[in-house]
Amino acid sequence: MASNDEMVDRLVRKGLLRTESVIDAFMSVDRGRFCTSNPYIDSPQPIGSGQTISAPHMVAIMTEALELEPGMSVLEIGAGSGYQAAILGKLAHPATVHTVEVVPELAKMAENALESAGIGNVTVHTGDGSIGLGEEGPFDRILVACGAPKVPPPLQEQLAEGGMMLIPVGRRYQDLIRVRVTGKGFSKENLGGCIFVPLVGEFGVEI
Ligand code: SAH
């Protein structure tokens, strides 16, 4: 598979990409800018520091499930390569997407890749995202791109009224959980199994 367009076509044919704005976002962000090895194959790839860029199908599933609309405030935990953040940036425009990365080298790389891809509305923060980013919240959408032992309370508290969070919950294998803020509190829904690198930090796994 040799091009970003072909990768996107395949995700559409599989039914993983369905919404026009999401398909457009995937078309307009070249995954090759965020990953040098086999960028258009549907699998995770190493990005250094022992971390990986998520597989395109997982980015597609999460982005579709996030029901993101222009102008929404968005927080991502685990910038990694910056690819998912770039897609979120396209969809949330003109709002700013905040993404937090705990490994400084990766945060720098993500920042450079986002700049080279011409994405101007994503801010990369270096630090422990398991405590969220209170000073920029509350958020309409939170996407956690690493596996958490349980939903970190600060992230739940930083969800806006009517907000939604997607978070892989579990140890080695996780379930993708969708948390919604309802009138009565929070509702949780299991969207299926997934495998992400662990969330570290205060509300992450013990290492
Ligand atoms: N969204 C990324 C893939 C993320 S991989 C992409 O599109 O490429 C998960 C990332 O989460 C890794 O880079 C890892 O360093 C980071 N991470 C793990 N625990 C974290 C924490 N507590 N705060 C912020 N980032 C964290």
SS3 of residue 136 by DSSP: helix
Q: Is the CB of 199 under 6 A from ligand 1?
A: yes
Q: Where are the alpha helices (DSSP H) in 67-206?
A: 83-92, 104-116, 153-157
Q: Is the CB of 54 under 6 A from ligand 1?
A: yes
pLDDT at residue 111 in the model: 98
pTM metric for this prediction = 0.98
Active-site hit among 28, 37, 54, 187: 54
CA 101–ligand 1 middle distance (angstroms): 6
pLDDT tens digit sequence for 52-88: 999 999 999 999 999 999 999 999 999 999 999 999 9
State the Cα–Cα distance between residues 168 and 77, nearest whole angstrom: 11
183 pLDDT exceeds 90? no
Ligand 1 pocket test target in 30, 77, 97 with most atoms within 8 Å of CB: 77
| 58 sits in which H/E element | helix 56-66
pLDDT tens digit sequence for 150-160: 999 999 999 99
pLDDT at residue 62 in the model: 98
pLDDT tens digit sequence for 131-170: 999 999 999 999 999 999 999 999 999 999 999 999 999 9
CA 168–ligand 1 middle distance (angstroms): 12
Q: Which CATH architecture has domain 4-194?
A: 3-Layer(aba) Sandwich (3.40)
Q: For all residues of the chain together, what is the average pLDDT?
A: 97
Ligand 1 pocket test target in 45, 102, 119 with most atoms within 8 Å of CB: 102
Q: Examine the residue annotation and report whether 187 is marked as an active-site residue of this protein.
A: no
* Atom from ligand 1 closest to the CA of residue 197: 9
State the Cα–Cα distance between residues 88 and 97, nearest whole angstrom: 7
Question: Residue 206 — very low, low, confident or very high, per pLDDT cuts 50/70/90?
Answer: confident
Q: Is the CB of 148 under 6 A from ligand 1?
A: no
**Segments of 95-204 assigned E as strands:** 97-101, 122-126, 139-144, 159-170, 174-182, 185-194
